[in-house]
Amino acid sequence: MHSNTEFALAPAPGRSRQNRGSEVVRAALLEAAVGEFAGRGFAGASGRRIAAEAGAHQSQINYHFGSTNELWKAALLFLLDELDQAIAEQLAQLESNEQADQFAAMVRGFVHFAARRPELNRIMMHEGAAPSERLAWFVETQLAHRHRQLLVAWANLQNSGIAAEVDPDVLYHSMIGAASLLYANGPEAELLGIKPADYELTERHAQSLIALLLPGWNKDF
């Protein structure tokens, strides 16, 4: 989707936080919000902590986003944009338009994104546990159409004898969990002697998940 962006979170030497560029402040608030919502959930999040982490004033949250609720939505869109970019980068490397190849590229992109950005899964583990306006917004505007596309592709791959015999009703959550829990639960993995930050492990993880999901797909990826 878009290029991966690293944000300069601290003011440049000799500049106060009052005169930092508006887009820099907004980016810093988004990055700080991602960490805060991932670590504490929406209910436990603090606008004061987010602003302090971003090197900004708390009033700038309202200026840039309108409310903490809208900041949460913006943080989710920010992460989803990075996810879409990661998948697009994998799709761009394909030399064919075969659906199995595209599905494998999607899985690989998602695994690598989950390794870099465990915050998305952590945020949704907080938010998905109870009904809320935020969860309804996320499902209706961001998740539902992705879920439909996934099920259509899965049905085609099953009909072609490529995909595993996984019930479509459990496919999404099974696949998301298998792709991301290793990184979302990174401290637990490390206590078991697994290094979730290891790029080679992420590569093996992606290959293994593709092999489980697409046993009829016989290409190296």
Domain range summary for the chain, segments of one domain joined by +: 1-71, 93-221
| Residue 195 amino acid letter | K
The confidence band for 4, taking pLDDT boundaries of 50, 70 and 90, is very low
pLDDT single digits (tens) 69-99: 999 999 999 999 999 999 999 999 999 999 9
The reply to whether CATH 1.10.357.10 applies to domain 93-221 is yes
pLDDT single digits (tens) 33-69: 999 999 999 999 999 999 999 999 999 999 999 999 9
Q: Do domains 1-71 and 93-221 have the same CATH topology?
A: no
pTM recorded for the entire structure: 0.88
The b/e string for 149-184 (b: 16+ C-beta within 10 A; e otherwise) is ebeebbeebbeeebbeeeeeeebeeebbebbbbbbb
Question: Would you tell me which CATH number, out of the four given (1.10.10.10, 1.10.10.60, 2.60.40.2470, 3.40.50.300), belongs to the domain 1-71?
Answer: 1.10.10.60
What does pLDDT average to over the chain? 91
Contacts of 163 (CB under 8 A, 6+ apart): 103, 154, 157, 213, 214, 215, 216
Residue 6: what pLDDT? 33
Q: How far is CA 57 from the centre of its chain?
A: 27
C-alpha dihedral sign at 115, 195, 200, 100: negative
Work out the average pLDDT over 115-131: 96
Contacts of 110 (CB under 8 A, 6+ apart): 83, 86, 87, 179, 180
Work out the average pLDDT over 120-144: 97
Work out the average pLDDT over 177-195: 96
The confidence band for 21, taking pLDDT boundaries of 50, 70 and 90, is confident
